[in-house]
Structure 1
């Protein structure tokens, strides 16, 4: 009996101590403002506006978010300004997403990205994105039937990257592309909808400066050019007519992309021919031809090939001549073949401008049974 009583008293004492520790930890957490998302915008007089999102649990257990906005000449000044607005100590270990206003992105975002990387509390897996307009507006807006904006953005960007409709673009990838000089970064480009946030393609960078934007269709072709698989689709108009006299069309999706590069040198300049073998399935078809017959399938394959080759060549021309950006790392691949012994920024830019780039596509339609 005495032994059981002693054990019960010991368990009660330990339990009471645990409750006390838990209460103290809870009070300590309540004194912290754990930042979950950050935004940077260009302000007047060479200043920047910084916005932070801080989850805040109410007494009823419901979560709301606090949005703080301040202005300063540097990230350090911003931290001090924002800290003076909160009764809690601001900590940055739980940042999921960082947004940059497009005006700031066109001036260069490295001072703010590098600061994040050097903060030992912040992991390198956080997602970066550029927004149409100001980042603060994305955090200030309310989104009915959505989780808090930090979680909403994080889940949306993660889903698109897992499905390969967006290039992988966390802090680690961005800094690697800027410092390594093997390829130029791209980041998701977001715009505000009526009650939601829309991924509207990608922002294209030269080093850390935004130099242009690709729309969603161009972004999908960029994924194909990179050799990755995508859940996207290609809609092509065919030569045949429907019963109503309209041009027939077909949609091919669920694609598997294989890439092979032929890299050579012609008169001192790079020549890169990009060969793609793409497997897909016809999911929509408005014509009357029997798709069980090989010649009819061949017509659709040739139409898809022509459209994809044209679209991919146009995208390469835009990246090469309009933006001077090499997100595919083509010149680094050229260097790796031994054609260049040393590749600095200027040499790489000159080679990229003069490079002869071409695309060849072979389309294989493997399924036609999903048509509806």
Structure 2
């Protein structure tokens, strides 16, 4: 009987201890300000302006977010100043998204990206993006019927990457491209809509400095050029009109996509021949031609081929001649073929890239016409 009483007393003591531990852990969590998103903007003089999003659960279990904004000469000083504004200890282990204002991106974002990478609490898979206007405004705007801004931005960027409408980008890829000197990075470019955020193409970088932007259609072409086929259906405007005078559209769903890059040299100048073989199905066509007829189908394939070659070549020219940016890593491929030595300076490679001959050849094969409307 005494043994049973002692066992019961011990069990109650252990249970009470467990409850106490649970309460202590809860109190410890409540004392932490877990940063889930951060933004950087160019401030006055040499300062940067930064904001952090901190989820805050109310007593009713509902989640709201706190946004803290401060200034600092460095990201470390900014973090210190933000910490002084909160009653909780700020921790960065749950950061999902980092936004850079365009003005800051055009002056270089490496000091802030590298600091994030060196923070042992932060994973290298967090998503980065450049914003049209101030990045902090994306945190303070209200988004009706949307989850908290950190989750909203994170899900949006991941969805666009998974559907290959954006090249794969995160902190790891950005730093790898900058340090590797063989490829220039790109980051998603965001702008504010009336009640939402719009992914409006990509920001193009030379090293860590933003030098331009590609619109959404150009970004899709960049994804093709990099060898990533877009999932789902893509709408093409063709250079013909139907009987009602409307421009003809063809929607193609890709089934197979292959890329090959042939590299050669002429009089010391690189030559890149990018070849693409695309197989797909036409799921919608607004023209008057009967696509069940072989000649009409071949004509449509030729039109799609010409459209893609012009669009992809146009993006390549813009990257090479206007931005002098190499997000395809063509010069790294050139060097890997032994045309230049590993000791060649990045400046020399940049000069070679600006004089390179870039060619695009596309072959389109329509395997089926699907449901034509």
Q: TM-score, normalised to structure 2's length?
A: 0.96
Post-superposition shift, 1:76?
Answer: 1.4
Tell me the equivalent position of 1:366: 367
Tell me the equivalent position of 2:62: 62
Q: What secondary structure, in the 3-state scheme, does the structure 1 residue paired with 2:217 have?
A: helix
Q: 1:68-83, aligned counterparts within 5 Å?
A: 68-83=68-83
Instruction: Name the stretch that deviates more: 242-251 or 343-352.
Output: 242-251
Tell me the equivalent position of 1:53: 53
Deviations 1:92-119 (A, max 9, x none): 1110000000000000000000110111
Post-superposition shift, 1:6?
Answer: 5.0
Distance in 2 (alpha carbons) for counterparts of 1:247 and 1:109:
43
Distance in 1 (alpha carbons) for counterparts of 2:12 and 2:256:
61
User: How has the CA–CA distance of structure 1 residues 247 and 171 changed in structure 2, closer, same or farther, with 3 Å as cutoff?
Assistant: closer
CA contact (8 A) 1:229 1:255 kept: no
Tell me the equivalent position of 2:346: 345
Deviations 1:310-334 (A, max 9, x none): 0111110000000000000001001
Post-superposition shift, 1:127?
Answer: 0.4
User: How has the CA–CA distance of structure 1 residues 362 and 124 changed in structure 2, closer, same or farther, with 3 Å as cutoff?
Assistant: same
Distance in 1 (alpha carbons) for counterparts of 2:251 and 2:121:
47
Q: What secondary structure, in the 3-state scheme, does the structure 1 residue paired with 2:66 have?
A: strand
Tell me the equivalent position of 2:221: 221
Tell me the equivalent position of 1:202: 202
Distance in 2 (alpha carbons) for counterparts of 1:196 and 1:11:
54
Post-superposition shift, 1:288?
Answer: 2.8
Tell me the equivalent position of 1:131: 131
Tell me the equivalent position of 1:265: 265
Whether 1:317 aligns to 2:328 is no
Post-superposition shift, 1:283?
Answer: 2.0
Quote the RMSD (CA, aligned, Å).
Answer: 1.5
Q: What secondary structure, in the 3-state scheme, does the structure 2 residue paired with 1:191 have?
A: strand
Q: 1:117-266, aligned counterparts within 5 Å?
A: 117-231=117-231, 233-239=234-240, 241-254=241-254, 256-266=256-266
Deviations 1:109-140 (A, max 9, x none): 00000110111111111000000000110000
Distance in 2 (alpha carbons) for counterparts of 1:39 and 1:248:
43
Tell me the equivalent position of 2:358: 357
Post-superposition shift, 1:85?
Answer: 0.6
CA contact (8 A) 1:235 1:250 kept: yes
User: How has the CA–CA distance of structure 1 residues 187 and 213 changed in structure 2, closer, same or farther, with 3 Å as cutoff?
Assistant: same
Q: What secondary structure, in the 3-state scheme, does the structure 2 residue paired with 1:361 have?
A: strand
Deviations 1:276-313 (A, max 9, x none): 00122212211232222221111111000001000111
Instruction: Name the stretch that deviates more: 208-217 or 281-290.
Output: 281-290
Distance in 2 (alpha carbons) for counterparts of 1:2 and 1:285:
87
Q: What secondary structure, in the 3-state scheme, does the structure 1 residue paired with 2:98 have?
A: strand
Q: TM-score, normalised to structure 1's length?
A: 0.96
Post-superposition shift, 1:245?
Answer: 4.2
CA contact (8 A) 2:40 2:48 kept: yes
Distance in 1 (alpha carbons) for counterparts of 2:196 and 2:129:
16
Deviations 1:235-285 (A, max 9, x none): 13254x533244433222335320011101111111010000012221221
User: How has the CA–CA distance of structure 1 residues 17 and 305 changed in structure 2, closer, same or farther, with 3 Å as cutoff?
Assistant: same
Distance in 1 (alpha carbons) for counterparts of 2:192 and 2:29:
33
CA contact (8 A) 1:223 1:230 kept: yes
Distance in 2 (alpha carbons) for counterparts of 1:186 and 1:176:
12
Distance in 2 (alpha carbons) for counterparts of 1:59 and 1:143:
23
Tell me the equivalent position of 1:304: 304
Deviations 1:146-174 (A, max 9, x none): 11000011111111111111111110000
What is the total number of aligned residue pairs between the two structures?
371
Distance in 1 (alpha carbons) for counterparts of 2:38 and 2:298:
51
Post-superposition shift, 1:2?
Answer: 6.2
